[in-house]
Amino acid sequence: MSETLELSFEDAARNYPIFFAEDLSTQIRQAVAALCAEGRRAVVFTDENFLNAQGAFLDASFGPKGESGGVSRLVFAAGEGTKSVAELARAWDFLGAQRVDRGGVIFAVGGGVVGDLAGFAAASWQRGIAFYQVPTTLLAMVDSSVGGKTGINIAAGKNLVGAFHQPRAVFVSTGLLQTLPPREFAAGMAEVIKYGLLGDLGLFEQLEAEALRVGSAGLGPVIRRCCEIKAGIVRADERETAKEGGRALLNLGHTFGHAVEQVAGYGAYLHGEAVAIGLVAAGDLSRRLGFIDAQACERISAVLAAHDLPLRLREPLSAEALIDAMRRDKKVRAGLPRFVVLRALGEAITKDGISEELARACFAGIGAGE
Ligand SMILES: NC(=O)c1ccc[n+]([C@@H]2O[C@H](COP(=O)([O-])OP(=O)(O)OC[C@H]3O[C@@H](n4cnc5c(N)ncnc54)[C@H](O)[C@@H]3O)[C@@H](O)[C@H]2O)c1
Ligand SMILES: O=C(O)C(=O)C[C@@H](O)[C@H](O)[C@H](O)COP(=O)(O)O
Ligand SMILES: [Zn+2]
């Protein structure tokens, strides 16, 4: 049986459903059939690791490759390196070769990498075509498939090129997590812990009481709860324009984390691992500002560690390079970085005017070098 959550906007025509079930391949197949019946060309973007682990799900949802009427697939190399200008260009060439017109649709079947790239390809192809999110990692189920942030990385920084482009629906098949490698599951848990910290103390305490694993009975409801929190925030501030708080709160731990990802080289740390280290730094910053105490910081570290996440850098990275990367964050206004900090566990706020010295101290706390 599937459950549904609706992400609603002021313009109801843009609303979309998020479906949750163990296996939604039948519903996806029906959606594809309905699109084809309207004469619309559907294509699938996925990556090689997902194809190898879950080829049967792809066949059940989209028809076996090569089958007449089957949906054409573009398969990317797995990993953060795929969120690149070169792979985006490959996606555009594929859409051209497949004669995808303005009525065409892309199904993004994979983790956040495929979702972000496919979403941006959809946003840019012929000035915008429809796309569907089929998240297959925990991180994509709780975060990246919802809310319409799409994009790629460039040398100057993470996600610096992209667009807000909402999907038409999100299909969350939780059974797919059975084949997800443990390190990738842990990376997704970093974003789950982020949701508890930024807006749901009860969720944070639940994660403190018992670490979630793939088979945990509580996992399905937690995935849904994260989508609920994200949907509420996105509905209120879709394009992250609020003067205070708003969608920027979803960036808790990311100002530090994105700097780590970029300076270490994309892929050296998984996004979720960098976010985990960033959450430690954001907790430390909140303590230095007098909002939370050392005991609260220890609780953050303990929950992250219980979910097999790193708390500091494996090897020192240049503090200069990290500060420089941080200055290129999209939340910078008039040259000054804006941080997301914790006023308390379960309550985040945005904070301007953080000095470079303070940010430097927090980077030192997670093991940055000179
Ligand atoms: N747009 C957003 O709002 C948003 C939010 C959070 C993160 N992100 C982005 O998401 C990306 C990270 O996404 P991710 O953590 O999903 O990584 P990912 O997309 O690289 O997927 C992780 C790995 O798991 C494999 N995989 C996927 N599903 C699988 C399955 N069911 N079984 C076995 N293997 C499977 C993939 O092939 C890949 O090797 C980053 O680029 C980050 O910036 C975007
Ligand atoms: O959806 C959002 O908004 C988020 O900030 C979610 C983050 O987890 C995600 O990593 C996002 O891609 C970061 O966006 P960015 O605008 O800081 O690049
Ligand atoms: Zn993130």
pLDDT confidence tier of residue 291, bands split at 50, 70 and 90: very high
CA 259 to chain centre: 16
> Can you give the pLDDT at residue 68?
60
Share of the chain above pLDDT 90, in %: 93
Beta strands in 237-288 (DSSP E): none
State the average pLDDT for the chain.
96
Active site residue 247: yes
For residues 292-319, average pLDDT: 98
- Token digits for 126? 């012929």
Three-state secondary-structure class, residue 99? coil
> Can you give the pLDDT at residue 332?
82
For residues 329-342, average pLDDT: 85
- Token digits for 254? 């990311």
Of the options 1.20.1730.10, 1.20.1090.10, 3.20.20.80, 1.20.1560.10, the CATH number for the domain spanning 182-365: 1.20.1090.10
> Can you give the pLDDT at residue 67?
64
Query: Which position among 10, 38, 127, 315 bears the catalytic label?
Result: 127
Integer Cα distance of 171 and 184 in angstroms: 19
Examine the pLDDT at 142 and tell me if it is beyond 90: yes
Integer Cα distance of 17 and 338 in angstroms: 32
> Can you give the pLDDT at residue 158?
92
Integer Cα distance of 256 and 358 in angstroms: 12
pLDDT confidence tier of residue 28, bands split at 50, 70 and 90: very high
For residues 96-109, average pLDDT: 97
Query: Which position among 224, 247, 299, 330 bears the catalytic label?
Result: 247
Asked casually if ipTM beats, i.e. exceeds, 0.95, the reply is yes
> Can you give the pLDDT at residue 335?
74
Active site residue 3: no
Examine the pLDDT at 3 and tell me if it is beyond 90: yes
Examine the pLDDT at 102 and tell me if it is beyond 90: yes
- Token digits for 31? 């959606």
Residue-range domain boundaries for the chain: 3-179, 182-365
Q: Cite the annotated binding site for NAD(+) by residue number.
A: 112-116, 136-137, 149, 158
Picking from 348, 352, 318, 349, the residue whose alpha carbon sits closest to that of residue 332 is 352
Beta strands in 24-128 (DSSP E): 42-47, 72-76, 105-110
Integer Cα distance of 120 and 115 in angstroms: 8
> How far, in Å, are 280, 295, 336 from residue 365 at the CA level?
9, 16, 21
Integer Cα distance of 126 and 102 in angstroms: 6
CA of 342 to the centre of ligand 3 (A): 17
Ligand 1, atom 15, lies closest to the CA of: 139
CA of 97 to the centre of ligand 2 (A): 31
> Can you give the pLDDT at residue 211?
98
DSSP string, 193-229: HHHHHHH-HHHHHHHHHS---TT-TTHHHHHHHHHHH
Active site residue 49: no
> How far, in Å, are 81, 113, 124, 192, 210 from residue 203 at the CA level?
33, 26, 37, 9, 11
Ligand 1, atom 4, lies closest to the CA of: 144
Tell me the H-state helices in 317-355.
319-326
Task: State the helix-helix crossing angle for 271-288 and 254-264, rounded to 10 degrees.
Answer: 130
For domain 3-179, which architecture applies? 3-Layer(aba) Sandwich (3.40)
Predicted model pTM? 0.98
> Can you give the pLDDT at residue 296?
98
List, for residues 40-86, the tens digit of each pLDDT value. 999 999 999 999 999 999 999 999 876 666 699 999 999 999 999 99
